[in-house]
């Protein structure tokens, strides 16, 4: 595995599935040498919200949504894809950023063979740590992603480190793993419609980090916040390197279940109530009943977010620019929630938070569409990422 090489650029029909905790999406797109992918078909299917999160049932619901998406892509009859990718959001993968260091008294040549030896040694250490954490479950995980984030030779970052002479070396790599049961379910489901020897898995963390790093004009430090259906992931980027991450189990569905508990209503009714309140259509007694519940849930999410920032920051400052991915229906709600965060902004952050959403407007111009196509931000990010790498 050469983490310093890229595949040859050529135009080809590619299929990507995006699997999150609130929806499954699929997109057919043409990779282009210009770096701008052209999406010719896309579809999304929500994952039903359960009253509680139970792992086996959650996996079953996700698989059913994936099957619906795969079926719709297949019956679109737009051609056979050359490759299939699957981009996973939490909780379907685990990841870690690791730094490899090597120092010698005499100069050495940094070769591909040396890089491979160092990386494989680090992967072995990572797997041993994971095995110790999850006891005897090591055989239930599969490494799905290994990316070189940056390489530093003699204190200077370089994009072309191979065959260079150095005394000091530092490689920052990003490793992702997936549960074997989950990955096998995904492969079997997609395999019913598209017969491929292998499906390329990746993480949405790496996809979104790469795209933001390339389009960001706010400096080398920023936060990535991915608010899914069940989980919120927070990633801290320093000097354009993904260095720390933390997650907490409060996503968009946390609001739905909170309203269900507070009003003793159904899940569908709760979602309707949230939409009415969010859009400013709640009135009278209804407003008085729902607003306190939502405000309490907002405060709980915010307190957990604050604690996560404090745990993430350690002894370094929190970047003030925050790039957020979330369903567009709840973007304004969480934007205002994050902006009302007071404590960490003035004790840990570099300055007052500025929230930027990775939506279709933000991504305009770096992706093309065949009309009419559903514009879904996560599928757009996935397509751009795959097209580039």
Q: Supply the CATH number for residue 233's domain.
A: 3.30.420.40
Cβ pair 60, 42 in contact under 8 A: no
User: Quick check: is 239 in a domain?
Assistant: yes
What 3-state class would DSSP assign to 218? coil
Q: What is the share, in percent, of the chain residues with pLDDT greater than 90?
A: 47
Q: Bridge-partner residues for 152, per DSSP?
A: 157, 170
User: Quick check: is 4 in a domain?
Assistant: no
Question: Which tens digit of pLDDT belongs to each residue from 295-352?
Answer: 899 999 998 998 888 888 766 778 888 999 988 778 888 888 887 765 455 455 556 7
Contacts of 7-14 with CB under 8 Å at 24 or more apart are 7/389, 9/33, 12/82, 12/83, 13/78, 13/79, 13/80, 13/81, 13/82, 14/81, 14/82, 14/83, 14/84, 14/85, 14/383, 14/386, 14/387
Residue 267 token pair: 């899940």
Q: Does one domain contain both 210 and 223? A: no
Q: Does one domain contain both 233 and 336? A: yes
Q: Does one domain contain both 114 and 246? A: no
Across the chain, what does the average pLDDT equal? 86
Q: Does one domain contain both 143 and 187? A: no
Cβ pair 249, 230 in contact under 8 A: yes
Q: Does one domain contain both 69 and 209? A: yes
Q: Does one domain contain both 140 and 288? A: no
User: Quick check: is 3 in a domain?
Assistant: no
Q: Does one domain contain both 31 and 125? A: no
Question: Which tens digit of pLDDT belongs to each residue from 170-224?
Answer: 998 999 999 899 999 999 999 999 988 889 999 999 999 999 988 887 778 899 9
Domain that holds residue 120: 94-176
User: Quick check: is 5 in a domain?
Assistant: no
Residue 311 phi/psi, 5-degree rounding, is -70, -35
Cα(54)–Cα(38) distance, rounded to whole angstroms?
38
The predicted pLDDT at position 193 comes to: 95
Q: What is the share, in percent, of the chain residues with pLDDT greater than 70?
A: 90
Confidence of residue 2 (pLDDT cuts 50, 70, 90): low
Cβ pair 221, 209 in contact under 8 A: no
Range of lowest pLDDT (54-68, 96-110, 333-347): 333-347
The predicted pLDDT at position 346 comes to: 47
User: Quick check: is 1 in a domain?
Assistant: no
User: Quick check: is 6 in a domain?
Assistant: no
Q: Does one domain contain both 69 and 109? A: no
Of 23, 16, 17, 15, which is closest to residue 326 (Cα–Cα)?
23
Q: Does one domain contain both 139 and 240? A: no
User: Quick check: is 269 in a domain?
Assistant: yes
Q: Which residue has the higher pLDDT, 192 or 281?
A: 192
Q: Does one domain contain both 44 and 103? A: no
Residue indicated by tokens 């003793």:
264
Radius of gyration of the chain from its Cα atoms, rounded to whole angstroms:
22
DSSP 266: -
Q: Taking residues 345-373, what's their average pLDDT?
A: 78
Q: Does one domain contain both 101 and 170? A: yes
Q: Taking residues 120-139, what's their average pLDDT?
A: 72
DSSP 53: -
Output the CA torsion sign for 133, 138, 144, 149.
positive
Cβ within 8 Å of residue 189, ≥6 positions away = 63, 66, 67, 70
Domains: count for the chain: 3
Q: Does one domain contain both 209 and 298? A: no
Cβ pair 66, 189 in contact under 8 A: yes
User: Quick check: is 50 in a domain?
Assistant: yes
> Domain with 146 in it: what CATH number?
3.30.1490.110
The predicted pLDDT at position 3 comes to: 53
């Amino acid at each position: 595995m050469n983490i310093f090489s890229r595949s040859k650029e050529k135009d080809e029909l590619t299929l990507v599935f995006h699997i999150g905790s609130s929806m499954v999406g699929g997109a057919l797109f043409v990779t282009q040498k210009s770096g701008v992918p052209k999406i010719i078909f896309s579809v999304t299917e929500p994952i039903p919200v359960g009253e509680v999160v139970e792992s086996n049932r959650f996996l079953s619901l996700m698989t059913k949504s994936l099957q619906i998406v795969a079926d719709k892509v297949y019956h679109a009859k737009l051609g056979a894809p050359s490759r299939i990718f699957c981009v996973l959001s939490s909780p379907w993968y685990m990841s870690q950023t690791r730094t490899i260091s090597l120092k010698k008294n005499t100069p050495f040549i940094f070769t591909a063979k040396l890089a491979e030896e160092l990386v494989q040694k680090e992967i072995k250490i990572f797997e041993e740590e994971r095995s110790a954490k999850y006891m005897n479950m090591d055989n239930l995980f599969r490494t799905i992603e290994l990316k070189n984030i940056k390489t530093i030779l003699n204190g200077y970052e370089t994009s072309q480190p191979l065959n260079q002479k150095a005394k000091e070396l530092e490689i920052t790599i990003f490793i992702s793993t997936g549960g074997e049961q989950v990955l096998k379910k995904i492969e079997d489901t997609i395999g019913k419609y598209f017969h491929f020897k292998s499906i390329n898995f990746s993480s949405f963390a790496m996809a979104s980090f790469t795209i933001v790093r390339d389009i960001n004009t706010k400096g080398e430090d920023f936060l990535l916040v991915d608010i899914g259906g069940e989980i919120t992931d927070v990633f801290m980027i320093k000097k354009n390197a993904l260095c720390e991450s933390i997650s907490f189990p409060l996503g968009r569905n946390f609001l739905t279940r909170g309203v269900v508990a507070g009003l003793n209503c159904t899940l569908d009714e709760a979602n309707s109530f949230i939409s009415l309140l969010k859009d400013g259509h709640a009135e009278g007694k209804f407003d008085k009943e729902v607003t306190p519940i939502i405000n309490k849930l907002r405060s709980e999410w915010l307190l957990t977010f604050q604690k996560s920032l404090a745990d993430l920051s350690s002894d370094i400052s929190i970047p003030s620019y925050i790039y957020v991915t979330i369903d567009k229906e709840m973007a304004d709600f969480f934007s205002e929630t994050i902006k009302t965060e007071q404590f960490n902004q003035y004790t840990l952050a570099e300055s007052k938070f500025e929230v930027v959403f990775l939506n279709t407007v933000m991504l305009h111009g770096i992706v093309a569409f065949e009309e009419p196509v559903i514009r879904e931000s996560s599928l757009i990010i996935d397509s751009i990422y795959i097209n580039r790498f």
